[in-house]
Amino acid sequence: MEFTRARLTDVMAKLGEPGFRAAQLHRWLYSQRSDDFGAMSSISTSLRQKLASSYAIRVSSVVRTEGESSASMTGDGSQTVKYLLRMPDDELVESVLIPSGERMTACISAQAGCPLQCSFCATGHMGFRRNLHAFEMTDQVFALQQETEKRTGGRLTNIVFMGMGEPLLNLDNVIEAVATLTGKDYSFSISEKRITISTVGLVRGIERIAASGLKTKLAISLHSADQQLRERLMPVAGQYPLDELGRAITGYNRMTGLPVTFVYMLLRGVNDTAEDARKLTRYARRFLCKINLIDYNSIVNFEFRPAYPDTRDAFVRHLLDAGLQVTVRKSQGAAINAACGQLATQPGPSASNRSNY
């Protein structure tokens, strides 16, 4: 079973134990990260025996590690590293450890696979297998924290839900995982402000986050401010037109006081023209926002290509001249298929199955 706070409370009630035992047990599992009921010394022997006879503690494990070659390392000589993790039911997911200066970011997955089938993303074309439990997300973070300690002696500074899957399709478990990772009196405790949740723009999920009181950051994969093109790139965008998405973003800005980050992947000859930049400018200036431009990361058998440098520079200049806040993010992990859109535990479709844009 999954040991969420609510589930542990139910178990304690079923066993006739006081409610505070649930909090104790949750701390043993997620702060001390104990995998043995017998070692939980602050819990009575009789309760430990009851738990051991009825339940098992299952954890995820790292089964493969792949680091970039020295030629692909970041400027400070550190490596982006991709991890393949096996879940307790043998499902596989990928996570990425991304160093950048003083930052050490864990990019984690919310789903095994993805059902959305965005045209440029390998994860979507491996198919959807299931949502991840909250503990499977925290397990990814804890595994990457252990790797960070071994490699640098330091700690993770940031967490991004930008790996495999659409986090807002699994929002209950994402919120549960965030609550555990930000627990003030837990051994691993990170500020909500250092966590980013990514979405392709699922309006109901954005509205729910806005009303939840979460102080995490929100990143929205936009990729085009033209509705028809956006639908071709991201079929789910047909369910959430730009105007409807805009109303959700306005509500998010108003309720949280926080900006959103528009993630825009530049695709050569697809969404990188001067007209595309003008459309993005008209759309983005309506909101409290930042724009994060990223290069397309080549995927075997996918037809897209990154924008030419001159084209990208002109695109950036147009946005800056319009007074927008823009970051051009250096892609990390592309050499090991660990960059945005590249995570997949099985190959995507052949080029003959791709549509032309």
pTM for the full predicted model: 0.89
- Here the tokens at position 237 are 């965008």
Kindly list the structural domains of the chain, giving each domain's residue range(s) and its CATH number in brackets, ordered by start: 5-54 (1.10.150.530), 61-353 (3.20.20.70)
Buried b (16+ CB within 10 A) or exposed e, 22-39: bebbbbbbbeebbeebee
User: Tens digit of pLDDT for each residue in 268-293?
Assistant: 999 999 999 999 999 999 999 999 99
Catalytic-residue membership of 66:
no
User: Tens digit of pLDDT for each residue in 156-198?
Assistant: 999 999 999 999 999 999 999 999 999 999 999 999 999 999 9
Among residues 94, 136, 147, 166, the one annotated as catalytic is 94
Tokens 């309760």 -> residue: 47
Percent of the chain scored above 70 by pLDDT? 88
Tokens 């479709």 -> residue: 349
Among residues 107, 114, 289, 340, the one annotated as catalytic is 340
**Per-residue pLDDT at 344:** 53
Alpha-carbon span 101 to 95, nearest angstrom:
20
User: Tens digit of pLDDT for each residue in 26-53?
Assistant: 999 999 999 999 999 999 999 999 999 9
Identify which has the larger pLDDT, 72 or 212. 212
Paired residues of 94 in beta bridges: 84
Alpha-carbon span 187 to 156, nearest angstrom:
13
**Per-residue pLDDT at 1:** 61
Catalytic-residue membership of 121:
no
